[in-house]
Amino acid sequence: MKIGGKGRYPFGPLRERFRGCMLGLALGDALGVPFEGRREVRGDQVWRAAEERPLLRYTDDTHMAIGVAESLIKCGRFEGRHMAETFARNFKEEPWRGYGPGPPRVFEKIEAGVPWDRAAETIYPGGSFGNGAAMRVAPLGLYYCRDFKLLPEAAAQQSKITHTHPLGIEGAVLQAFAVALAALHGPIPSAGELLARLRTLTGEEIYRSKLEEMESLLGEPRASAVALRLGNGIEAFNSVPAAICCFLRHPGSFAEAVVEAVSLGGDTDTIAAMAGAIAGASLGVEKIPRGWLAKLENKDYLDQLAVRLWEAALKGADGS
């Protein structure tokens, strides 16, 4: 089947892939967070930490993805003001989730009445290029997975609530597309085809060159080469390519993709959240280790959100 082409709409499995994506994002986030800021992490350390921790608690990555899903379900489409207010309200309820420095300042402005598409402009010169818009975008990639015309614009607009720098926006668009393609096609037919499809979306040289570089990393035995050549930092251009690469290096194993994402070090929770969202969307919830899922904080709510998002996406697709 051609990646990105018009194809069948596999109703049953698609629901399981929506669930895999939401739960996979949260698990990647939770598994990565104990290692945030480390230079490199061994895979066995990640497995052991997952086993020893009684509760796998997530951070702002998942908390904001919840806001994206809640708003899409409620509105039946992307509505900037509603999503921005949802983010601000959720932040007020749980400000301790580990948010980056920029978003709380944006939420304050939104609460003070600044329009949702203006509030983030002045937080950083040129806008933020942090990975905060990419880390949360997966539910939107799911929701618009059949609509490749609306998807890039919706992904860019949701980014602008907090991240207006072109590099922050393009990272979110690429992550949304990777999730959408994974959800639509399930197990990917070919990494090269997926990368070629993503390359058509790039306007920024840094993403184009990193997507090109990725092909040569697929057979590379050392994970450390991924961090070295694609980056592992908080900037969108230093984390979105790394997350996509971890998925492509382990397209058949959710656990291996996520463990490798954590092992890169750096912004471990966010790279693993993004890799987990893509891997979960591709492989479905049944390929996520049960022992991890059983310990995930708020698992039932995340699962319900995924199913409601799937129902809302179907409704939209039918035009009803």
What does 265 bind: Mg ion, ligand AR6, none (CB cut-off 5 to 8 Å by kind)?
A: none
User: Using CB under 6 A, which of 10, 101, 187, 203 touches ligand AR6?
Assistant: 101
Nearest distance from residue 13's CB to ligand AR6, in Å?
Answer: 30
Part of the chain binding ligand AR6 (CB under 6 A), chosen from 110-118, 216-224, 263-271, 299-307: 263-271
What number of other Cβ atoms are within 10 A of residue 186's Cβ? 18
User: Using CB under 6 A, which of 60, 85, 170, 303 touches ligand AR6?
Assistant: 60
What number of other Cβ atoms are within 10 A of residue 315's Cβ? 11
Q: What type of residue sits at position 30?
A: A
Identify residues 259-298 at the interface with Mg ion (CB under 5 A). Answer: 267, 269-270
Please, which residue, 132 or 280, has the CB nearer to ligand AR6? Answer: 132
* Pair of tokens at residue 67: 């806001």
Say if CB 163 and CB 135 are below 8 A apart: no
Overall residue count recorded for the chain in this entry: 320
Q: Calculate the alpha carbon distances from 25 to 59, 98, 208, 275 in Å.
A: 11, 16, 25, 7
What does 159 bind: Mg ion, ligand AR6, none (CB cut-off 5 to 8 Å by kind)?
A: none
Identify residues 162-181 at the interface with ligand AR6 (CB under 6 A). Answer: 165
What does 136 bind: ligand AR6, Mg ion, none (CB cut-off 5 to 8 Å by kind)?
A: none
Instruction: Look at the block and give the residue holding tokens 């992490």.
Output: 41
Identify residues 133-162 at the interface with ligand AR6 (CB under 6 A). Answer: 135
Q: What type of residue sits at position 3?
A: I
User: Using CB under 6 A, which of 7, 37, 95, 126 touches ligand AR6?
Assistant: 126
Contacts of 188 (CB under 8 A, 6+ apart): 3, 181, 182, 194, 248, 251, 282
φ, ψ (nearest 5 deg) of residue 65: -65, -35
What does 260 bind: Mg ion, ligand AR6, none (CB cut-off 5 to 8 Å by kind)?
A: none
Nearest distance from residue 172's CB to Mg ion, in Å?
Answer: 15
φ, ψ (nearest 5 deg) of residue 112: -85, 0
User: Using CB under 6 A, which of 4, 100, 241, 284 touches ligand AR6?
Assistant: 100
* Pair of tokens at residue 135: 């880390």
The answer to the question of residue 277 lying near ligand AR6 (CB under 6 A) is no
Alpha-carbon span 21 to 110, nearest angstrom: 29
End-to-end Cα spacing for the chain: 28
User: Using CB under 6 A, which of 70, 85, 269, 303 touches ligand AR6?
Assistant: 269
**Site residues (vs ligand AR6, CB under 6 A):** 59-61, 98, 100-103, 124-126, 128-132, 135, 165, 234-235, 267, 269-270
**Site residues (vs Mg ion, CB under 5 A):** 267, 269-270
